[in-house]
Amino acid sequence: MELDTIASISTPMGEGAIGIVRLSGVHAIEIADKLYSGKQKLAEVQTHTINYGHIIDPETNEVIEEVMVSVLRAPKTFTRENIIEINCHGGILTINRVLELTMTHGARMAEPGEFTKRAFLNGRIDLSQAEAVMDFIRSKTDRASKVAMNQIEGRLSDMIKRQRQSILEILAQVEVNIDYPEYDDVEDATTEFLLKQAQQIKGEINKLLDTGTQGKIMREGLSTVIVGKPNVGKSSMLNNLIQDNKAIVTEVAGTTRDTLEEYVNVRGVPLRLVDTAGIRDTEDIVERIGVERSRKALSEADLILFVLNYNEPLTHEDKQLYEVIKNEDAIVIINKMDLEQNLDLGEVHEMIGETPLIETSMLKQEGIDELEIQIRDLFFGGDVQNQDMTYVSNSRHISLLKQARNAIQDAIDAAESGVPMDMVQIDLTRTWEILGEIIGESASDELIDQLFSQFCLGK
């Protein structure tokens, strides 16, 4: 079935050096030619060329834009369809007029993610590669973008396809056993082959799942909340980690009235860093709302940085707050080491037990390196693994891999228990289908539509 031609603005809205209107479909070049005036018709130029000219309103002959138009003919394009990219000056008004003209003359507005969806539907990429495109756009660190790029290039897809092929080989062997049940040696050989191959497949799935924690952190960032009483240096810590003065720092307790959120790259680990209002009982209505938001952020955090003041003794509030976080992944930070000691360190060690502790002076920028190393060690065992590894970073993929592992384990248990091979075949087929969902081989239309709806327009 021939798909219609779609169009959208593919650059961020707002003023910029250039703005791009992208078209994809059988009639993309034909539609662009209705608007384009240059030395040659676009239908006559070579593929994968960029051409200077103007966009003209055919009805009024008004010159709308001076443009460079890229012409890319199917099938060697991202969507495997004809693609036109009209490079305009970055004015909001004119780029919108160019888009409107393309739709007036035969294109329709693309849905979110529809260009990438067409690449998937036309066999250019599979579903895991399509999802990696969005991961690449949203990546917050070099490592995260490298993980996404590896998936775009098909590393995860290739591994999944190999495992599915291995399952097909097992199923073919099982069919032999079903067709020739009278031969005991066939049954024994089939069982032995099945168990060996199935254990190997399970091992490969486990290897992928082992990368899931690191991959998910690289993809989504580590939700990190800075907590403590008012005026212990939380905002100074945020500013030091992001190397910017985003948070207001004063000597007045309760200055931070709401949660502040920033992304920061710490030793290759992306942190979604949240500076919270100091948690304390207060009569100030605005501050009380901030404290409640702080408590909510605390409940959703992957990592908690609990800050104490070297210049103040440990209080009942400090102890109460530590009780809330003591079973979570946390690092205790004693700040303001440049001031006079009024904090009993022995009492602190007794309270926190084995929880990691770092001493800092945000004023003198001391202890930041040690804190960054401790964060990396806590979640990556001291080593952010090789960038060339195949990581699983998508929650959907992780969930499906766990289901596939359970299904292959059911097949192994059934074979070891002497269950008839046609019953074992059911679990093997289920494993094959679950793995197929990762790359889109057996995904429902509803799932595909839902995934692509999360993309931005023009991608």
Judgement on whether residues 328 and 410 belong to the same structural domain of the protein: no
Residue 255 has pLDDT above 50, yes or no: no
Per-residue pLDDT, 62: 94
Question: Could you tell me if residue 419 is inside a domain?
Answer: yes
Question: Could you tell me if residue 85 is inside a domain?
Answer: yes
* pLDDT band, very low/low/confident/very high, at 142 (cuts 50, 70, 90): low
Q: What is the mean pLDDT of the chain?
A: 80
Q: Which of 335, 353, 380 is the last residue of a domain?
A: 380
pLDDT digit string (tens) for 103-119?
A: 999 999 998 889 989 98
* Distance (Å, whole) CA 455 – CA 459: 7
Judgement on whether residues 225 and 323 belong to the same structural domain of the protein: yes
Judgement on whether residues 43 and 144 belong to the same structural domain of the protein: no
Judgement on whether residues 150 and 175 belong to the same structural domain of the protein: yes
> Quick one: average pLDDT of 437-442?
83
> Quick one: average pLDDT of 162-168?
91
- Residue 35, domain CATH: 3.30.1360.120
Question: Could you tell me if residue 195 is inside a domain?
Answer: yes
Judgement on whether residues 184 and 316 belong to the same structural domain of the protein: no
Judgement on whether residues 235 and 346 belong to the same structural domain of the protein: yes
Q: Which of 67, 82, 110 is the last residue of a domain?
A: 110
Range of the domain at 274: 220-380
Judgement on whether residues 233 and 357 belong to the same structural domain of the protein: yes
Judgement on whether residues 318 and 367 belong to the same structural domain of the protein: yes
Q: Which of 54, 83, 110 is the last residue of a domain?
A: 110
Per-residue pLDDT, 276: 60
Question: Could you tell me if residue 40 is inside a domain?
Answer: yes
Number of domains into which the chain is organized: 3
Nearest by Cα to 421 from 168, 195, 175: 175
pLDDT digit string (tens) for 64-84?
A: 999 999 999 999 999 999 999
Rg of the chain over all Cα atoms, to the nearest angstrom: 29
Question: Could you tell me if residue 115 is inside a domain?
Answer: no
Judgement on whether residues 323 and 373 belong to the same structural domain of the protein: yes
- Residue 135, domain CATH: 1.20.120.430
**CB within 8 Å of 290: residues ≥ 6 apart:** 256, 257, 258, 259, 276, 277
Q: Are strands 36-38 and 49-56 parallel, antiparallel or unpaired?
A: antiparallel
Per-residue pLDDT, 320: 81
Pairwise pLDDT comparison (135 vs 129), residue with the higher score: 129
Judgement on whether residues 298 and 360 belong to the same structural domain of the protein: yes
pLDDT digit string (tens) for 4-29?
A: 999 999 988 777 788 999 999 999 99
> Quick one: average pLDDT of 238-251?
54
Question: Could you tell me if residue 15 is inside a domain?
Answer: yes
Judgement on whether residues 198 and 254 belong to the same structural domain of the protein: no
Question: Could you tell me if residue 118 is inside a domain?
Answer: no
The percentage of the chain sitting over the pLDDT mark of 90, rounded to a whole number, equals 32
Nearest by Cα to 404 from 420, 424, 428: 428
Residue 195 has pLDDT above 70, yes or no: yes
Per-residue pLDDT, 184: 54
Pairwise pLDDT comparison (245 vs 455), residue with the higher score: 455
* pLDDT band, very low/low/confident/very high, at 140 (cuts 50, 70, 90): low
- Residue 303, domain CATH: 3.40.50.300
* Distance (Å, whole) CA 128 – CA 144: 16
Question: Could you tell me if residue 453 is inside a domain?
Answer: no
Which residue is it, tokens 């924690």?
A: 213
With vertex at residue 348, the alpha carbon angle to CA 343 and CA 353, rounded to the nearest 5 degrees, is: 170
* Distance (Å, whole) CA 115 – CA 131: 13
pLDDT digit string (tens) for 21-69?
A: 999 999 999 999 999 999 999 999 999 999 999 999 999 999 999 999 9
What pTM, to 2 d.p., does this model score?
A: 0.63
Residue 339 has pLDDT above 80, yes or no: yes
Judgement on whether residues 84 and 181 belong to the same structural domain of the protein: no
Per-residue pLDDT, 77: 95
pLDDT digit string (tens) for 369-412?
A: 888 888 878 776 645 454 545 667 677 888 899 999 999 999 99
pLDDT digit string (tens) for 270-327?
A: 777 776 654 444 444 444 544 565 566 676 778 888 889 899 899 888 888 888 788 8
